[in-house]
Structure formats: structure tokens, C-alpha cells
Amino acid sequence: MTFPRPKEYKRDLRRTVLTRRVAVTAEHAAAAGKAIQHCILGLPAFQDAAVVMAYAPVRNEVETGGLIEKALSAGKRVALPVTETSRKVIYPRIITRYPEDLVPGPFGIAEPCPFCPVAAAEEVDLIIVPGVAFDARGFRLGYGEGYYDRFFPLTSGVSIGIAYSFQLVDTVFPEEHDWPVDFVITEEITIETGAGANRRT
């Protein structure tokens, strides 16, 4: 008898979850985004953060625009990732206006324009992380390129994976190079994993 390899499991899980995410209605997306935003705004990790790194949503990811605007209004420095495909890395650039400071980037993802100043990874206090799926230990299934897993070791910032409730699964079949997040937040539940902090120490 042969068993599926972890990469095959990940491929099938990615396909299943992305198919379901595409089907999320605008009403569900809006309600979920507001609930998740409310949870994040109440966290001391957000309230104490001077530099918040978020993301511009694509392909029906959880909406972040309201959270970005709240952070800017609170006087926080807000960064979004810029993707450097040649080295398969991301790095943060600071924005002061959303979405006016954004331009089209790789993979159809909006990112800060080249005139936005670069922030050092170690300056980032809080990272809002997208994902295809998460498990309760904080491990994340992305699109398979490892951009965030390369970024996390460069910062001591608290990481929060946000997703719809159906994106929280029993396991994402993590591998040695995978880096867990400190929190997983859906519209229904907030999980403090502590896993990311353990890996940083």
C-alpha cells in the first residue's frame, strides 16, 4: 500500500480551500473581515505596535483595508510587503495612504510604490499574515513559494495569521522549514499559539 506524500496532501488541501475561498460571497467576506479586524484591534500586540505590516488582499483573501486605515489613523507606521521574485523574498515598505500608495506587483498583488521608504524587518512589531490554510499550532499553508517563511526569522514581531473559519484545518502538514504564527484569527475564533515566539528564542 502506498500513502500520499506531504506535498500531495498540501497540493490537494490548497486546491480544496482555494476553491471554497473563491466562492465566499461579498456579504460573508465583509462580515468576516469586520469581525477579524475587531479582534485584532483589541489585542495588546496591536495596540502596542509602532510598526504594523499588513497585506493587500487578492483572490478573495480576508479584507485588510479597514485595519490598515485604523492603524494609519492611530499614528502607527504601516508597511506592506514588496516581493522580489528573483530572490524569492519579501521586504516591507512604509505607506502613508491606502490604497493610493500601492501599485501592481508580482502575482497580481498590490504593493507599495518604489518611492515608499523601506523599513528594516527588525522594526516590524506586528505582522498580519495571509494564508491558504492554518492549523491550531500556527502552521501556515501558503502558495508554496516560502516568502513568509524566509521573512519571519528576520523579525521578532508578533505574527497573526488571518483567515475565514473554513481555512482553519486539523493540519497543514508542516515541514522543518515552516514557521508558525503567534495567533490565528478567524471570524469565529482567536487562537494564541505561542509557537512563533518559541521558535524565535
| 106, containing H or E segment | none
Assign 186 a pLDDT band (cuts: 50, 70, 90).
Answer: very high
pTM of the model as a whole: 0.93
Compute the average pLDDT of residues 76-95: 97
State residue 148 phi and psi, 5-degree precision: -70, -35
Q: Which CATH superfamily is domain 6-200 in?
A: NagB/RpiA/CoA transferase-like (3.40.50.10420)
Task: Please report the pLDDT score of residue 76 as a whole number.
Answer: 98
Assign 29 a pLDDT band (cuts: 50, 70, 90).
Answer: very high
Task: Please report the pLDDT score of residue 1 as a whole number.
Answer: 40
What the block records as the C-alpha cell of 47 is 495596540
Inform me whether the pLDDT recorded for 3 exceeds 50: no
- Do 53 and 92 form a contact (C-beta atoms < 8 A)? yes
